[in-house]
Amino acid sequence: MSRQYFGTDGIRGTVGQAPITPDFVLRLAHAVGRVLQAGAGPGSARPTVMIGKDTRISGYMLESALESGFNSAGVDVILLGPLPTPGVAYLTRALRASLGVVISASHNAYPDNGIKFFSAQGAKLPDEWELAVEAALLDAPVWAESAKLGKTRRLDDAAGRYLEFCKSTFANDLSLRGLKIVVDAANGAAYHIAPKVFHELGAEVVAIGCAPDGLNINDGVGATHPEALVQAVLAQTADYGIALDGDADRLQLVDATGRLFNGDEVLYLMVAERLGRGEAVPGVVGTLMTNMAVELAFKARGIPFVRAKVGDRYVLEALEKNGWQLGGEGSGHLLALDKHTTGDGLVSALQVLQATQRSGKSLAELMQELTLFPQTLLNVRLRAGLDWKAHTPLFDAQRAAEAELGNTGRVLIRASGTEPLLRIMVEARDAAQALSCAQRMAATLG
């Protein structure tokens, strides 16, 4: 059975269009509730689900639909309100819930929304679980009798609990005193949490992107629009800038000069910092998109490096398979499994600041040993009905590019898991060559 609804990060789409409609979301929650009930076994306690969301206006509607669907299947619900995706994962595990649910379309604009799930351990769920839910969606609903309907309550201190968790991942013998930090929450789920985390650890905080109105999430701010952070850091003469995306599982960093550091560089820094403290790093997981320079740098240090498919769930699967702790994507999804069960932009930022505070060095100084290869990534919107896998001109152009690059670069073409886009990536030692090769391939789809 192939997946009809689930993509690389839950179910996502435009609000008001299938499947992001209140009637489908109610059916989805009921199906998930039935799967939970079936897995609980006879005599087990009633399943409990936690629901968090970002700041999109559609979150109210979808939250109500999820609540009703779960209750109708005999599942209790705890509403967390606006909370980062990793915060939902943390509270699901900490409060021993059966499942965590996040209403968010992450870095997408406000007309989109989505539903994603976390296990009782606060981790992404496997494909087999998603297939079980899709199978349950094909069955007629089985409404719980009145005495067995689920109940709902709200956890009023959810944000405070998660805030304290984030602070606990920062070394007790260090502080952020003396630092001025610009914090950009993308007008998203961390708007009321991110500034407090850094302030309570001692930093002077300048907040941008922390005034959501339901329509401005990711609108010109956040990790997908780091130019706003760069401008604010320079204007405020800040030491660092930290940008999250709409659900705060993605991170972008800026230093005092306005230089932007992507996820590949942050992953390298997290590994280097642990090696510098004498900790063992048995291996690291990146993705098909990870810069070749990072892979070569790890191999030079004798650290095994594995590439997973794009998507933090696949990075997590590879880490668990190998028994490793550190992995991530260039987009800013970073995993440190000894700190959290899932990617967390705030926790990752604190790991970087911990490295700079402990060493007394700037980000640029810590990154001196790593120079990324120039990389061009073009997102090409696919025409309706176009089968890119059978598009001969594209693959003729790809073969020509690979022949031109030889051993000095690589080409990667993949479809987005959340949008009708084809991502064409070319990496080469020469930036102009990478751009030219990518543009020639993209032109075949015009």
Residue pair 420/381 in contact by the 8 Å Cβ criterion: yes
Q: What is the pLDDT of residue 9?
A: 86
Q: Residue 76 corresponds to which tokens in the numbers above?
A: 């209790």
Q: Each residue of 174-229: pLDDT tens digit?
A: 999 999 999 999 999 999 999 999 999 999 999 999 999 999 999 999 999 999 99
Distance of CA 327 to the CA centre of its chain: 12
Domains present along the chain, CATH in parentheses = 11-158 (3.40.120.10), 177-259 (3.40.120.10), 262-366 (3.40.120.10), 375-443 (3.30.310.50)
Average pLDDT over residues 387-408: 93
Confidence of residue 369 (pLDDT cuts 50, 70, 90): confident
Q: Each residue of 36-84: pLDDT tens digit?
A: 999 876 667 899 999 999 999 999 999 999 999 999 999 999 999 999 9
Catalytic residue among 106, 119, 331, 348: 106
Cα 400 from Cα 397, distance rounded (Å): 5
Residue pair 15/215 in contact by the 8 Å Cβ criterion: no
Candidates 107, 95, 99; CA nearest to 123 is 99
Question: 360: burial class by Cβ within 10 Å (0-12, 13-18, 19+)?
Answer: exposed
Q: Each residue of 114-166: pLDDT tens digit?
A: 999 999 999 989 889 999 999 999 999 999 999 999 999 999 999 999 999 99
Residue type, 411: V
Q: What is the pLDDT of residue 431?
A: 94
Which residue bears the tokens 């005034």?
211
Pairing of strands 180-184, 204-208: parallel
Cα 305 from Cα 268, distance rounded (Å): 11
Distance of CA 109 to the CA centre of its chain: 15
Cα 251 from Cα 328, distance rounded (Å): 11
Residue pair 377/424 in contact by the 8 Å Cβ criterion: yes
Catalytic residue check, 106: yes
Q: Each residue of 292-320: pLDDT tens digit?
A: 889 989 999 999 999 999 888 899 999 99
Q: Each residue of 252-297: pLDDT tens digit?
A: 999 999 999 999 999 999 999 999 899 999 999 999 989 988 998 9
Q: What is the pLDDT of residue 286?
A: 98
Distances (CA, A) of 37 to 29, 43, 181, 442: 12, 11, 46, 48
Average pLDDT over residues 5-32: 96
Residue type, 166: C
pLDDT at 2 over 80: no
Cα 267 from Cα 285, distance rounded (Å): 10
Its pTM stands at 0.89
Q: Strand ranges (DSSP E) for 239-320? A: 240-244, 251-255, 260-261, 284-287, 305-308
Which of 236-250, 298-312, 374-388 is most confident?
236-250
Cα 245 from Cα 254, distance rounded (Å): 15
Q: Which residues pair with 287 in a beta bridge?
A: 308
Candidates 35, 301, 30, 254; CA nearest to 142 is 30
- Residues with Cβ within 8 Å of 416's Cβ and at least 6 positions away in sequence, in order, are 379, 422, 423
Q: What is the pLDDT of residue 193?
A: 98
